[in-house]
Chain A
Amino acid sequence: MAEQESFFKHSIKVHYDRCQGCTTCMRSCPTGAIRIRGGKPVVSDNKCVDCGQCMKVCPHRAIYIQQDDFALTRNYKYRVCLVPATFIGQFDEQIRTREIYSCLKKLGFTHIYEVEHEVEYMVKLYQQYMDKHPETRTFISPYCPAVIRLIQVRFPSLVDNVIKVRAPFELASRIIVRRLMDEGAARDEIGVFYVTPCAAKIAAVKYPVSKKESCIAGVINMDFLYNKVQLMLHESDKSAQPINHSLSSQDVLWPLAGGEACHFKGSQYAVDGLQNVLNFLERLEDDAVDAEGLVEMRICDQGCVGGVLATNNRFVARKRLEHRAKLFEDRPKTRYERYNNPEFCQWIDDQMAIPEIKPRSIYKLDDDFSEAFKMAERMKKIEKALPGVNCSACGAPSCAALAEDIVRGDARMDTCIFINRHSQASEEAIRSIWGDRVRTKEINKDK
């Protein structure tokens, strides 16, 4: 496929030996990023937003998320496990947080730091940004990296509604690095490893929207770490001391759907789940919903507990976190005097600001309006001529997508098996899409 230089890179990969080319991933992709070529899915880097939907729906478990080598942690003297509350939500309420952390320490981490430690400051950063932009009515939370990328490619008119602040794990990682350096560690001795519930957060660490470098040394998939800890729990240290900085009840709820919105005044929309996010953004773009204030958006159902790397059922994980939040109700909500230090606050504000989020429309047919116009006209005609059954035999997710591929020069009309059933050219075109799966042998008539 003809593509301009890619501006997004991804960690989602395909096990080609497991993949059956069944088209399920292609049909579920919200940005139409997948095509079948040679019998296997091919992903367009510029369209993919790392939402993980393809991985969730794949019936053959053929899609996986590439993580950093765990051995990488050994390169550092100070090995920080930056863990989101979602991870704790994977474990039964009977297991104490300190037991889980004692397992992480046995795995080689020297420090455990929870992403939600900085919730209080994240709320302040959002609020500061909103106060500085009174001209904007609707603010979209910058929490979920897949939502931001989805807006860039599918809803470019909404990029200015996104709060231009980096994601919470970026703040937590910077603060723990600074704290360790205050205690005498050298920067290159510190390795912060983020435990991710999804592909989008990996992409956000490795290829940030803002180009500002992340201070995270590596990303570990949550399911990988879950398996390790689950195996070790029987030998966990029940007498382990709790870490001295503890999450408040609101912090624990932060990764769940509704966890951000509850901190703000105004209409408090909390939208979760891919289809809901798409519908809401569509409506927002039409001005058909009048949302004043913060709109929280999470691409995964129920928020991060619905992430593709979260092992346990999202509803169970949600209930577990809510249970833990109840246990923490008596804990203080404000914990850091440092937030009153203007120098420290200025440093955070500088670290967390994103200068701009660029629109990256995937729809534009041509830079030249009249050329794009001709192509759009042709596309409309082709779409009408196609059967509209969206069978995907052409290797595109829908007839509309094939029409677009044709005008872009990436596919041919005769790749549609309804249009051209019997010609040699059609046979070859189908073979280029489906490879060896096209069978030429005659049906056995003896039987």
Chain B
Amino acid sequence: MHYSFDIERGNFADAGQASSSVKRTLKHLGVDPANIKRTVVALFEAEINAIAHAYGGRIDVDIDDGKIVMVVADQGPGIPNLDLAMQEGWSTASPQVREMGYGAGMGLPNIKKNTDDLKIETTVGVGTTVTMTVNLT
């Protein structure tokens, strides 16, 4: 099953539609609540990351028999130092973003914690693609 959603830069108000929709399907599938939680937490974090930092992008979700693969791809600016970004508490978020309660530097580490597999491909000036996999059964 495939779902896709657009991400608009800076539109925090609309965040969460992808995770809500995915959540509904996972509940229909009878997936264990703990796995549903991991999935939506990771997806929501990735979506917020893209809204806060990127110039817009897209979410593609594929659910097949045993796992869910979520790809959040944006059109830049890319992450200059991925190792730093993976550290808890490291953040380049603007003061405005922090004022909204985001940007604590927990995004990527939190995604890593909640997924079974995490791949991040990033090129400065081109964009970032975050691929997250959660085993559902």
Contact = CB atoms under 8 A, between A and B. Distances in A.
The reply to whether chain A is a binding partner of chain B is yes
Interface in B1-40: 1, 15-16, 19-20, 23-25, 27-31, 33-34, 36-37, 40
The A interface is mostly helix, strand or loop, or mixed, namely helix
B83 interface: no
Contact of A372 (B15, B23, B29, B33): B29
B44 A376 contact: no
Interface residues of B, number: 26
A363 interface: yes
B137 interface: yes
Contacts of A282: 20
A372 B66 CA distance: 12
B23 A286 contact: yes
Most buried by A among B28, B36, B41: B28
Contacts of A290: 101
Contacts of A245: none
Nearest to A160: B33
B7 to A, nearest CB: 16
B99 interface: no
Interface in B52-77: 63, 65-66
A369 B41 contact: no
A14 B19 CA distance: 37
B135 to A, nearest CB: 12
Contact of B24 (A156, A157, A359, A363): A363
Given A285-B23, A286-B16, A359-B33, A376 B28 contact: yes
A43 B66 CA distance: 34
Interface of B: 1, 15-16, 19-20, 23-25, 27-31, 33-34, 36-37, 40-41, 44, 63, 65-66, 101, 136-137
27 contacts: A156-B33, A157-B34, A285-B37, A286-B19, A286-B40, A287-B40, A287-B41, A288-B15, A288-B16, A290-B101, A359-B33, A364-B28, A365-B28, A365-B30, A369-B31, A369-B137, A370-B65, A372-B28, A372-B30, A373-B1, A373-B63, A373-B65, A375-B28, A376-B25, A376-B28, A380-B1, A380-B25
